Amino acid sequence: DVKVTQSSRYLVKRTGEKVFLECVQDMDHENMFWYRQDPGLGLRLIYFSYDVKMKEKGDIPEGYSVSREKKERFSLILESASTNQTSMYLCATGGGPNEKLFFGSGTQLSVL
Amino acid sequence: GQQLNQSPQSMFIQEGEDVSMNCTSSSIFNTWLWYKQEPGEGPVLLIALYKAGELTSNGRLTAQFGITRKDSFLNISASIPSDVGIYFCAGAPNQGGSEKLVFGKGTKLTVNP
C-alpha cells in the first residue's frame, strides 16, 4: 500500500510565523502535490512537483512556496502565515499522467 | 478553473438503503476517480475508471464511467453506518497529467442506524 505521511495532524501558529508542512511518500512516485481544502470550496491545488528540485504553481500559489530536495519529500512553506491560510492541507502523490492520487491524512492548520 | 458538478450535496439515509450520487462536467474526461473522506482524514481512493462505459465494483460500491465521458456515477448498496463520510469525484481531462485532476465538491453522506 502507498503510504503518504504528513508530519503533523494539527498545528496552531500565530500570524506572521513561518510554517513548514512536511510530506513523505514511500512509493517512489515522481509526482507530489499540495492541496488545501476549505468548506464549500473543495480541494484546490497550491503547488505540485514532477521531480526533485522541480516545482510548478497550481491554482492558488500566492502566499506559499515549496521545496523538493529529495524524491520522497515535498515541503509546503508559508513564509508569513495569515489568518486566511487557516485550512486543511493535504499532500498527495501519483505515478504519472492521469494516475490516481494517494493522499496523506492531512494537516489542520489554524493561524491565530 | 474547471469544476465538476457533484450531486447531491448531502444525503441522509437509513441503514440498509441504497445510495446514488453522480458527477457531471461540460468537458470530456478520460479518467474518473471516486474518493471517500472521513472526518479529520485525507481522501481514500475507492474506485478508478479509465474507459467510457466501464463499470467497476469494490465490495458494495459500484461506479460507472459515463458513455459520453462527461459523467460518472457511484452507487452504494445496503448502506451501513461506517459508510458515513464525504464522497468526492475527480476527473482527468483528455490532455495533461495528474495536476489537471478536477475535483467535485463532495457528497456528504449520513447513515442513520
- Residue-wise pLDDT tens digits, B17-63: 999 999 999 888 889 999 999 988 999 999 999 899 999 999 999 99
What are the pLDDT digits (tens) for A70-108? 999 999 999 999 999 999 999 999 866 657 889 999 999
Which grid cell is A109?
Answer: 492548520
A13-63 confidence digits (pLDDT tens): 999 999 999 999 998 888 999 999 998 888 999 999 989 999 999 999 999
Q: Do B41 and A108 touch (CB under 8 A)?
A: no
Q: Scanning every residue of chain A, which has its alpha carbon at the shortest distance from the alpha carbon of B3?
A: A42
Compute CA B85 distance to the chain's CA centroid, rounded to the nearest angstrom: 12
State the amino acid at position B40 in one-letter form: G
Q: What is the identity of the amino acid at A33?
A: F
**Three-class secondary structure assignment of chain A:** CCCEEECCCEEEECCCCCEEEEEEECCCCCEEEEEEEECCCEEEEEEEECCCCCCEECCCCCCCEEEEEECCEEEEEECCCCHHHCEEEEEEEECCCCCCCEECCCEEEEEC
Q: Which among B1, B35, B45 has the least Cβ separation from residue A59?
A: B1
Q: How far apart are CA B64 and CA B72, in angstroms?
A: 6
Q: Find, in chain B, the residue whose alpha carbon is nearest to that of A108.
A: B40
Q: Using CB atoms, pick whichever of A90, A97, A102 lies closest to residue B96.
A: A97
Residue B104 touches chain A, beta carbons under 8 Å: yes
For residue A101, which amino acid is it? Answer: L
What is the pLDDT of chain A when averaged over all its residues?
92
What does the radius of gyration of chain B's CA atoms come to, in whole angstroms? 13
SS3 at position B83: helix
Please name which of A39, A46, A56, A27 lies closest in space to residue A90, comparing C-alpha atoms.
A46
CA distance B34 to chain A (A): 10
